[in-house]
Every structure is written in C-alpha cells, then in structure tokens.
Amino acid sequence: MTAGSPDIGGQQARHLREEWTAALRALLMTPLMTPAHAEFDAVRRRADELRVWFAREAGWPLHVERDMARLVKRPADLQDASRGLPGFERRRYVLLCLACAVLERAEAQITLRVLGERLLALAADPGLADRGFAFTLQAQHERRELVAVCRTLLALGVLQRVAGDEEGFVRGGDAGSETLHDALYDVQRRVLAGLLAASRGPSTWPAEDAPATLPQRLAALVAEPMPDSDEGRRTAWRHHLARRLLDDPVVYLDGLDADLRAYFLNQRGTLANRLCEATGLLAEQRAEGLALIDEDGELTDVAMPAEGTEAHVTLLVAEYLNSRAGAAAGEDEVAAFVAQARPRYGSFWRKSAREAGSEDELAATAIARLQRLQLVAAQDGAVRPLPALARFAIGAAELRPAARPAPTGDLFD
C-alpha cells in the first residue's frame, strides 16, 4: 500500500463495528422493531451475531424475520413498579389486552369503530365487572382511552393506519352514532404475535393451576429452567446481572442476595468490560454497586439532565436531597422546597408551574423521575436518597481568573 492511500480494510472493519454496536443498542432501546425503524436493516444483516451475543450474555432470545425483530427482554426485577408504557395505568393495560384479543381474531384490516364494538363485548365479561372494570365508549374520555391504546399499537407497529382520523372518533359521539368518525388500520399479525415477551402464554394454564396473585403470575410468565449444577447457577447469575446492567440504571450490592453478591463482586470487572465493549457504554464502579453509563443519553427512557420544567425541578430536588447527607425527606418537605425555589427559578419554568399550589405536582413528578432512575427510594411518604444520587451533587463554585489572550503580534514583526 502506497503512502497516503486509504486503508480500505480498516475503514470496512470500523464500519462493521459501528453497525454492530448501533444495531445492538437499537434493540436494547426498541426490543420490538419493524422496518419503520432506522436500524432495522442493520439488525437483519447482523441477526446471527446478535442472536448469539444476546443468548450468551443475557439469556434473551432474539427473533428476526423479514418484517419484524423481537428481542425478548425479560426483566431481572419483576417488582420494579417504575417500568411500563408512558401514561398507562391498570385500566389502560386492561384495554390494551382486550384490544389485542380483538385484533387476534380480526381480519387483515379493521376499523376503529369495529374494534371498539368488539372490545365492548369482551369488556362485558362478568369476571372484569367483579373486579370493578367497566367500559362503555359512551363518554368522550372513554373514547379517548381507546384512541390512546390504538396509538400505542400504531407506535409499536401492530397497527398501520390506512385512512381516517382517531381524533374525529373521540369527538364524534357514542359507539352507535351514525355521525361517528372512523379510521382504518392494517393489522400486522407477526408483530402482534411478538408483543408478549413471555416464556409461555397465560392461556396455557388450566384454570385450576393458574397462579393466584400478580407476583406469582409475573414469575410464571417468565420462568426459565435452570440446570441443577454449579455451572447452571453461575450462568443464571451472570444472565441476571447482565440483564440488570443492560436494562436498569444501576445495580446496588445491597439489592442482591448473598450468593449473587459474592459472584458479582468477583466478576463485575470482567462482566462490565464485556458489556461495555459491545454496547459502547462506560462502566462506573462504586463501593455501593455498578452502573453502565451512556454518555450520549440515548439508552434511557428518562434522561437526566434534560430540558423542560420537570427536568429542571428534578435536578433541583436531587441537589436538595443530596444536601441532607443521606437523611430521608418527606414528600411534603420536597414540595415545600420546590415552593421555596419558585421565586428564584420560576422565570425559567412554564407558566402553570409558576402558580401557587403547583409544587405538589412538580415534587411528585421529580420524585417519580428520580425513582425510575433508581436514584431515590420512595415509600410511605418518605423519600430516601440512594448512593448513585451523588452523581448529581453540586459542589461549591470555583472562580478562576480569566485567561489572558496571547499577543497576536504585528504582521511585519
């Protein structure tokens, strides 16, 4: 190769590494992927390597087809209440499940009106009524709930809009109205089939053997066989830790049992290096645990720091909790702090946040964001800072003299 000629082989190798990392990161952030996603083609090209890596490192199956890629991410902590779809609570999840049941039996296309009518029939199940669930589509807020579910399914790729407008359906009247506006969708059956990330479907349990409580049901949905051997236990521990490092903001030692903690302390350097090499994350090891940090802020559902009033208030609350030297604060104390901060910082907030009485909602939002990032623990009205919150402590300002500009000299010196 002559001097100055391009290193074609090196450029190709670098491109392949970048494509691999981008595809892996895309699957971590969007485990259910369709051709509408930018990295879908890269995932298909690198499917075999990605499938091997996820199975080896985290025990997560990866299914890649012509029109869908599904990374079956099973969470390590089933009791983490901070997970879930944005804006979804128990009632909306029921509607989502009922909508999916309707789509499973539907033709290749369905209208929003027909979806609503068939969902009403399923919602009339006496078992749901016994649990206090009722849905009629008579009120506008109920139609808006159904539209929110449909838009979630659109975002996931389960539905594709062909024609129509959901907002017209919300304003158009009750389900039997002749003036009801409508929308037409294509149903993507392969994407729908991959929606549930479970080891077995809940319908496979006989009624007499079905788990009784929600924790038991969650555990049964994702239960995986583990070989009764030392090697099998070590593999299960490694998968558990990798899942938490890839999917959770931080892993604390005091959240691990004795056996898992001992394994983690012995292997965390090797484990972190291997995961960071593939994902482009940076390991931050502390005495209390380990976190994999994404400097680009892409691999997170909740960014911090970020723009906006809630994000600014969250940073202020984080600083306030750090100043308490580890002592817990009541939710009312956090709200009082936000109220005290309003005169100083309110000019940077949206108008509604500057009004008296807004501090309760702002404080609750900030606590929820910090809890999702595992920076605080909130229970029974008390907010306790966790060790990783120290990352956002603000120290005293250090004033340095301005650097004196270098003399430019004269052109003819």
Distance CA 407, CA 207 (A): 85
Q: What is the pLDDT of residues 202-220, one digit of tens each?
A: 878 887 888 888 888 888 8
Amino acid at 323: S
pLDDT tens sequence across 14-56:
888 999 999 999 999 999 999 999 999 999 999 999 999 999 9
Q: Which amino acid is at 169?
A: F
**Mean pLDDT calculated for residue range 84-111:** 93
pLDDT tens across 153-204, in order? 999 999 999 998 898 888 875 444 444 578 999 999 999 999 988 888 887 8
Radius of gyration of the chain (CA): 26
Choose among 30, 287, 11: nearest CA to 157.
Answer: 30
3-state secondary structure of 205: coil
Structure tokens at 281: 């994350």
Average pLDDT, the chain: 88
pLDDT classification of 82: cutoffs 50, 70, 90: confident
- Angle, CA of 290, 296 and 301, to the nearest 5°: 70
Find all residues with CB under 8 Å of 64, minimum gap 6, and list them: 43, 44, 47, 50, 51, 70
DSSP alpha helices (H): ranges in 30-134?
A: 40-45, 47-57, 90-104, 112-123, 126-130
Residues 248-260, mean pLDDT to the nearest whole number: 91
Encode pLDDT of 263-272 as tens digits: 999 999 999 9
Q: Which residues are 183's β-sheet partners? A: 164
pLDDT at 78: 81
Q: What percent of the chain has pLDDT over 90?
A: 61
- pLDDT-derived band of residue 404, with 50, 70 and 90 as boundaries? low
Q: Which pLDDT score is estimated for 193? A: 92
Tokens of 217: 């049901």
Q: What is the pLDDT of residues 308-364, one digit of tens each?
A: 999 999 999 999 999 888 899 999 999 999 999 999 999 999 999 999 999 999 999
> Which residues are within 8 A (CB) of 37 and not within 5 positions of it... i.e. 6 or more apart?
26, 30
d(CA 153, CA 156): 5
In the prediction, which pLDDT does 170 show?
A: 87
pLDDT at residue 173, as a whole number: 52
